[in-house]
Structure 1
Amino acid sequence: MKKLVVVTAAAGLTLTGVGVAGAAGRQPTPTPAPAGESAQAVAAGVAWTPCPANDPIEGTKLQGLECGTLKVPLDYAHPHGRQITLALTRAKATDTQHYQGIVLLNRGGPGGHGRDLPTRFAKGTYGLPTSVGATYDWIGFDPRAVGASSIDGSGKGIICDPSFQAPGKARPDYTPASKAEELAWRAKAKAYAEDCGRRYGSALKYMTSANWARDMDSIRAALGQHKTSYYGYSYGTYLGSVYASLFPTHVRRMVLDSVVRPSGVWYDDNLDQDVAFQKRFEIFLTWIAKYDSVYHLGATHDAVKANYYKARAALAKNPVNGQLGPDELDDTMQADAYRDYTWVDHAQALSDYFVKHDAQPLLDQWGGFPTDDFLTQNNYAVYDAVQCVDRQWPTDWKKWDRDNWQLYRQGNKFLTWGNAWYNAPCAYWPVPGGTPVTIKGKKGLPPILIVQATNDAATPYAGGVEVHKRFPNSRLLVENGGINHGVALTPNGDTCANNLVSAYLGWGALPPNKRGADAQCDAPPLPVPGSASAKATSAKADAAAIAK
């Protein structure tokens, strides 16, 4: 689940590793997978070599990791047919005495790259104790068509018409002022979908979450493991749910953090986002008003909101450098509805533009169009490729028009039409959608840990509740008042959630099974402008900490 378009941001606060005591090695060493148990029979495993010092896609982020590749079927119904390549990385366990097997990692999207992820888990960058991290092989992978995983032999993932996201000039206002403007946006979305069809043809129909889960099981089998553990954020929670439903006996431990509602996949879930993002945007505006002595944007929520839309109108009339218009402002500020560690910088940039008439800080926070940014363009192409085929989207634009105008007129103005155009290619996708996997707990599935913030906007709270019900032996950890997307082992710094997740990964500890939430943490306090913690977080902000 994602809508953030062109925002670039910064690397998250490095958290001190929490002390988690206990016997991380109480679980038995995983045994090799029996022949024929995997989605794809193991042929030759993965040959690991040191990752390059300067990877063509990830740059220096893979230093210290091992790299490898794995061939898997494009179509699992024909396992010996056309093969595609998955690119993998590994941070190998250093505590072999207490070895606990592999953990597959997914940051979300769909379309988020993953080969850089093992380092932060192995080294405890965001709060996992190194005593726990050392007992696992952490496996990063670029899912099919993502990053360095290729479906066409190119050695890279897919990209479609870059001008849809990066036209090189300020885009027309997301909110159409006329039928003609709405038709123009629809034409752009249709052209994008058609370009994807021309480039990748019938291969697009195999870009399903079910096939991504089968790819995960192929990785597990190729690494000689009977079971795998898994950590997924955002869309990665849906991918984990699909995997657990298809391969319940292959799951050892699983953490689903910031959870997609399966029954809403994907059209309804995106409508739900519009309401949740509006709520989060209002929280951000109230926070700005609290610090009017710093930002001078208004001492009340309503005053700040009015000034935001005045700034938006000014940008519509006169885009900065001809590029940063109202859509680009919304895209920048949308990051603030994902996480609070961008608030200080973004509020200051908005203040500089509106109060001081200095647009440079706002330009810096926006970051420009991703014309030549492979990962951003690739992320969006894969986002569409997966969501558009997991389930059939409405093809009658009258439904899109009716649903989005209804939400907009109910007061959900911040995200609604931007989200509609972000997803609009699915109305014209060149291959039909299918039937999603039924998400359901099955015999042999161990208890999984679900982590959910009550005010998450990208994956609203109802998603965590629903998945908890679908997996009856799961445990639900709720962050009360939490507003960040991605609760544990992220830059957000929730020590309570970090401790509970670390205990689960360390030795399988779970909270007692209760009615409703099984464990609760209070959300960390909101940032304070000028404080040491706010400055440290701002200096290290990282939009790639998790996929948005």
Structure 2
Amino acid sequence: MTVTPTIRRLFAYCLPFLALWFFFAKESPYAKYTLLGENPQPTLCATDSHSATDDFPWESISPTEKLVWIDCYANQQCARLKVPLDYSHPGGASAAMALIRTPSAVPHDSPNYRGPVLINPGGPGGSGVDTVAAAGTLLSTIIGPEFDIIGFDPRGIGRSTPRISFFGSRAERQIWTVESVSTFSVNSSADALARAWARGIVLGQLAGKGDNGSLRFMTTDHTARDMLKIVQAHGRDKLQYWGFSYGSVLGATFAAMFPQHVGRLIIDGVMDSEDYYATKWSKNLFDADKTWMSFINGCVAAGPAGCALHAPTAAEIIEKVDKVYASLRKRPIPVQTDTSSGLVDWSMVRATIFASLYSPYAMFPTLARILADLHEGNGTTLFKLLEQPAFQCACDPAQYQFERLLDATSGIICNDGERVSPAYEDLVGHYGRLSETSSWADVWERPRMPCLGWPDFPKNHFRGPFVANTSFPLLLIGNTMDPVTPLWAAKKMSEGFAGSVVLTQDSPGHCSVASVSICTFIYIRQYFLDGRLPQPGTVCPVDVPLFPPSPSPDVADEDQAQVRFLNSLSAADRRLFEAATELVKMSPVRFLGGI
């Protein structure tokens, strides 16, 4: 198997964030397996540590109340916007929002200029700066050259300050997270759930102990107010926005709080915001098993040349995977390479499989090869895919001053949501109910864990209702087989926003960017450019196979079919197809940060 740098980066970013989400660290339990030596890819639904290798001097930009852009990265511009830390006391302490833009190809004084579109890659904890730094040009191609593409690190995250941090040093954080390997899946051992509960209590206590007074203001409703400030700093009154995964909660919150300031607002991979703010995390997995079965059935259909784990029936493939599980439960696989050594165990494989459900079109062929090797007792393929140099302390702490931290994910989730009972019996009950909805409950129970011992902050921020007559209707996008944001949630959230429309993409994966659909992206562009919404009930097909066609005597015919498809596209649609294809190769959808 040829492991491309893109695939290596996918796993490097996906695996550490399984415990919580999208949109993809060195602080993770699998830090020793991530690849820090390669240029990072964008994240459209989670967190990573791109800024550890970020050589742009963000500290050289002074935060200002008016946007002052300076050149940064590759043909892009950066700024830091000064906003109130506490909007109920706007004259008090301030925060600084880090922003990046891929400029419009149209001059700002042209009548064709359409203003900024803000991007949120999800998480919570994902960096819009990273996303636009790496994929701004692709997003511009999809949305249209008439717009500026704006990425921002939400308050508490990455290069925005003050930052959410529970530990005194990177070394302390690394020691803490490495120890969490044993509870990465709360079904990894007889005491894994209890250990995860205890660690959650401690992490919440650490958050309170290390709070400098700013932590309580790291909430989604404050970030929504920050977005309005960003829009107004551009001299505009209405938000244009595309948010993924948790970014759908942020977008829905903005729309409910400021319905009169909605210009164009897309939420993609839609979470049930009521469930999120209740800190239940109980309705995410409704379609997770269906997404997993798309791998099984796709492998059967792909044949032995197209899927390394192939068997004639779905039952036989499931039996192979069950054999892998049983073997690893009994005995992890020791692996030694030229540069490191370690174990391939139950938790790592569960994480690998669940990671692939986010980006099946990019990952399923590789997943099949990994599982086929594990079925034969060989863990080297998976281990080497994730292998990286060991953690090293920084000689100069300033090198990591804008490093994004997994702490931010827990900080925002626990600040936003209802308090969670710290009683172990209540956690057991929640896990039992979650297990009734999906076989993937063991890797989804942990988002709530740090909230068990969270500081007793006031819960007086906005948490609904999500009902509004917005100044322009919302567009919601959901996949038919999304592992963590089921289509059901998009339809439910749409009911609260007058005139909104749900666009369905008929594919597995998390968010529309998990696959290539010319149909979907044409609707996205039309919505931003002309305000045209799809007809209710519209379903878009995808234009790429789940498993690429295997080499065969008919390969020439397959190539010709692809050529015919591309030739059938207009020049604009072909550019759209190529940009979307690059996004899928980047596997932009990521997990949330983990404990």
- Provide TM-score, normalisation by structure 1: 0.80
CA distance in 1, matches of 2:94, 2:450: 27
CA distance in 1, matches of 2:451, 2:384: 32
Deviation at 1:100, TM superposition (A): 0.8
Match for 1:138: what amino acid? I
Which among 262, 266, 271 is matched to residue 251 of structure 1? 262
State the SS of the aligned residue for 2:511: coil
- Which residue is 1:405 aligned to? 432
Deviates more, 1:118-127 or 1:416-425: 118-127
Pair 1:99 & 2:113 matched: yes
Which among 491, 495, 498 is matched to residue 518 of structure 2? 495
State the SS of the aligned residue for 1:336: helix
Pair 1:349 & 2:370 matched: yes
CA RMSD of superposed structures (Å): 3.6
**Contact 1:342/1:538 (8 A) holds in 2:** no
- Which residue is 2:69 aligned to? 48
Deviation at 1:304, TM superposition (A): 2.1
- Which residue is 2:226 aligned to? 215
The runs of 5 or more residues in structure 1 that have no matched partner are 13-41, 52-61
**Contact 1:170/1:322 (8 A) holds in 2:** no
**Contact 1:479/1:523 (8 A) holds in 2:** yes
1:186-225 equivalence runs, <5 A: 186-225=197-236
Cα deviations across residues 89-135 of structure 1 (Å, max 9, x unaligned)? Answer: 1122221220111111101111100113346775346861xxx6321
1:45-124 equivalence runs, <5 A: 45-51=66-72, 62-96=73-107, 97=110, 98-118=112-132, 123-124=137-138
Deviates more, 1:213-222 or 1:388-397: 388-397
Deviation at 1:486, TM superposition (A): 1.5
Compared CA separation, residues 87 and 311, structure 1 to 2 (3 A):
same
Deviation at 1:177, TM superposition (A): 4.5
Deviation at 1:268, TM superposition (A): 6.5
State the SS of the aligned residue for 1:182: helix
Deviation at 1:526, TM superposition (A): 2.0
**Contact 1:122/1:133 (8 A) holds in 2:** no
Deviates more, 1:425-434 or 1:380-389: 425-434
Cα deviations across residues 158-182 of structure 1 (Å, max 9, x unaligned)? Answer: 988344543396657531643x443
**Contact 1:393/1:433 (8 A) holds in 2:** no
CA distance in 2, matches of 1:543, 1:120: 12
- Which residue is 1:521 aligned to? 540
Deviation at 1:214, TM superposition (A): 0.9
Cα deviations across residues 184-236 of structure 1 (Å, max 9, x unaligned)? Answer: 22222222222222223542221111011011111122222222211111111
Deviation at 1:305, TM superposition (A): 2.2
**Contact 2:183/2:195 (8 A) holds in 1:** no
- Provide TM-score, normalisation by structure 2: 0.74
CA distance in 2, matches of 1:224, 1:450: 27
CA distance in 2, matches of 1:308, 1:126: 41
- Which residue is 1:327 aligned to? 347
Compared CA separation, residues 212 and 292, structure 1 to 2 (3 A):
same
The runs of 5 or more residues in structure 2 that have no matched partner are 1-19, 43-62, 335-340, 394-399, 552-558, 563-579
State the SS of the aligned residue for 1:117: helix
Cα deviations across residues 266-298 of structure 1 (Å, max 9, x unaligned)? Answer: 566622234432232232223234446242464
- Which residue is 2:17 aligned to? none
1:204-353 equivalence runs, <5 A: 204-266=215-277, 270-291=281-302, 293-294=304-305, 295-296=308-309, 298-316=311-329, 317-320=331-334, 321-340=341-360, 341-353=362-374
Deviation at 1:157, TM superposition (A): 13
Compared CA separation, residues 116 and 43, structure 1 to 2 (3 A):
closer
- Which residue is 2:11 aligned to? none
Cα deviations across residues 342-380 of structure 1 (Å, max 9, x unaligned)? Answer: 10111112212323x432221144456996798999453
Match for 1:253: what amino acid? R
Deviates more, 1:433-442 or 1:206-215: 433-442
CA distance in 2, matches of 1:235, 1:471: 18
CA distance in 1, matches of 2:403, 2:289: 26
Match for 1:473: what amino acid? G
Deviates more, 1:415-424 or 1:163-172: 163-172
State the SS of the aligned residue for 1:451: strand
**Contact 1:228/1:251 (8 A) holds in 2:** yes
CA distance in 2, matches of 1:537, 1:344: 16
Match for 2:115: what amino acid? G
Compared CA separation, residues 168 and 253, structure 1 to 2 (3 A):
closer
Which among 418, 421, 431 is matched to residue 443 of structure 2? 418
State the SS of the aligned residue for 2:438: coil
- Which residue is 1:38 aligned to? none
Deviates more, 1:445-454 or 1:300-309: 300-309
1:447-486 equivalence runs, <5 A: 447-480=473-506, 482-486=507-511
Cα deviations across residues 308-361 of structure 1 (Å, max 9, x unaligned)? Answer: 232233334224443432111111111222121210111112212323x43222
Q: What is the aligned length?
A: 492
1:114-193 equivalence runs, <5 A: 114-118=128-132, 123-124=137-138, 128=142, 133-151=144-162, 161-167=173-179, 174-175=186-187, 177-178=189-190, 180-193=191-204
